[in-house]
Amino acid sequence: MNSLLHVYNSLSGKKEVFKSILPEKVGMYVCGPTVYSNVHLGNCRTFISFDLIYRYLTHLGYKVRYVRNITDVGHLENDSDEGEDRISKRARLESIEPMEIVQRYTLDFRKIMHLFNTLPPSIEPTASGHILEQIEIIKELIKNNYAYEINGSVYFDVKRFNKDLTYGKLSGRNIEELVHNSRLLDGQSDKKNPQDFALWKKAEPIHIMRWPSPWSDGFPGWHLECTAMSRKYLGTKFDIHGGGMDLKFPHHECEIAQAEGINKESPVNYWLHANMLTLNGKKMAKSTGNNILPEEIFNGKNTFFKKEFSPMVIKFFMLQAHYRSVVDLSEEALEASEKGYIRLLSAIEAIEKLSPSASTTDFDVISWREKCYSSMNDDFNSPLLIGHLFDAVKFINSVVNKQKSITSSDLVILKKSLHDFIYNVLGFRLSKPSKNDPKFEKNKELLNLLLEIRNKARAKKDFEISDFIRESLSKLNVELNDTENGTNYEIK
């Protein structure tokens, strides 16, 4: 491999050479889901992006400690410090215990992530399991004069912090601008200044989730949990912090301020942000109805698409775009991805049956492999990598057609590299219908029925019908072979 791994650091706005703090080890923290409803597809894209990053770093030989939290308390209805806790509200509306909400949607999240074949993180801590650590950080921030208590709640003093250190460096917002753009306090808030954010909130009587603290019975502010958990499991300085682009401000900006308020130094070397997913050209939002759940795509029960698409096809579609670009979900795009994905898998099957030639390879396997690595080393450029994989697919197909040849040693390298990139790095799972699946049995019966109809047509010399069946099946990637012993089929 020639090139060094470069990553785009949101903090510097540049691609930088990646150098881990400890040799061969990487600490990576990614903001996980708030488990108050089914995981939405945009979030899935973020976690698939960081799964790619996790897998590639691991493939390069790093021992990665990947921490992704579960937010089960403290995330209020809007991202400022107002409104009800999202989980508490859901629990109140359904008259159940908040932890039942947490359990239900944590399981849903894990199930969907499993269907997308993402690897579980090394540690998956919860906010409610780290209340003591959060209280300790608040105490330190109060001691350092970056936080103040009013009526049982504690707030981070952004103006005071900005006198010593800089607030706003990740999002590029300067404090004057923030002060100018902040809404006036509505009288309900105890904050000194509107840009201050909550570290601890005193619980109203209606609030179910509450813990004792030196200031009141209450609950921690949303931004605090990530500082507490990243510090606990990765230390005061670690390599990578990731999350969705929408978390850059205020969430990540506040995380930086909290960590610097204790340690006076930046907690993270590389900030990575994954971009969003739109649906038919528009932002996905529950409120507008322009929204689809992963499961609704997998089972085809939705109003957006005429057919169902498998998790691997959705994942292939997502990875065909760079993680920092916006990607738009549409029927045409998914159809195209499905065809591409099937072509890729067919080539993987075909390579198993290739017979090598004695002397020549009409493909520079070594430089092809280097191009694959260079793509991934260029800020995890999966679309470029997939493009190179298709160069190999084209070559494999021409070997199958006996137009080109490959030596046995090159065949070994090609097979191994394809396996590495498709399964280990991109994280695809060969998804063929399972023989125990009732749908598979039904499809087999239907196919046999079509073959029977075609045989009857052929016996009557009705070639118009028999060819129509053959061509239609071929479009569905089912190829028919007429042999002396009858017709058999192959699903490509």
- List of residues contacting Zn ion (CB under 5 A): 31, 226
Among residues 113 and 411, whose Cβ is nearest to Zn ion?
113
Q: Is the peptide bond before 250 cis (omega within 30 degrees of 0)?
A: yes
What tokens appear for 85 in the block? 């806790």
Query: How far is the C-alpha of 395 from the C-alpha of 417, rounded, in Å?
Result: 14
Closest distance between Zn ion and the C-beta of residue 171, in Å? 14
CB of 82 to Zn ion, least distance (A): 19
Q: Which is nearer to Zn ion, 226 or 284 (CB)?
A: 226
Q: Which residue type occupies 27?
A: G
- For residue 17, the SS3 value is strand
Whole-number minimum distance, CB 228 to Zn ion, in Å? 10
Q: Name the minimum Å distance from CB 335 to Zn ion.
A: 36
Minimal distance, residue 368 CB to Zn ion, in Å: 39
Length of the chain equals 492
What is the closest distance, in whole angstroms, from the C-beta atom of residue 117 to Zn ion in the complex? 24
Nearer residue to Zn ion within complex by CB, 31 or 87: 31
Closer CB to Zn ion, residue 48 or residue 247?
Answer: 247
Check: CB of residue 333 under 8 Å from CB of residue 317.
Answer: yes
Cα dihedral 301, 120, 430, 343 in deg (nearest 10): 80
d(CA 55, CA 257): 30
Helix (H, G, I), strand (E, B) or coil at 201: strand
Q: Which is nearer to Zn ion, 30 or 411 (CB)?
A: 30
CB 197, min distance to Zn ion, A: 13
Choice between 55 and 251, CB closer to Zn ion: 251
Least distance (Å) between residue 210 CB and Zn ion:
21
Whether the CA torsion 165, 170, 172, 175 is positive or negative: it is negative
Of the pair 31, 399, the CB lying nearest Zn ion is at 31
Question: What is the per-residue DSSP string for 473-490?
Answer: HHHTTEEEEEETTEEEEE
Q: Which is nearer to Zn ion, 71 or 405 (CB)?
A: 71
Give SS3 for 418. Answer: helix
Q: Report CA 383 to chain centroid distance, whole Å.
A: 15
Residue 274 is encoded by which pair of tokens?
């994954």
Locate 421 and state its tokens: 């990139």
Distance of alpha carbon 35 from alpha carbon 32, whole angstroms: 9
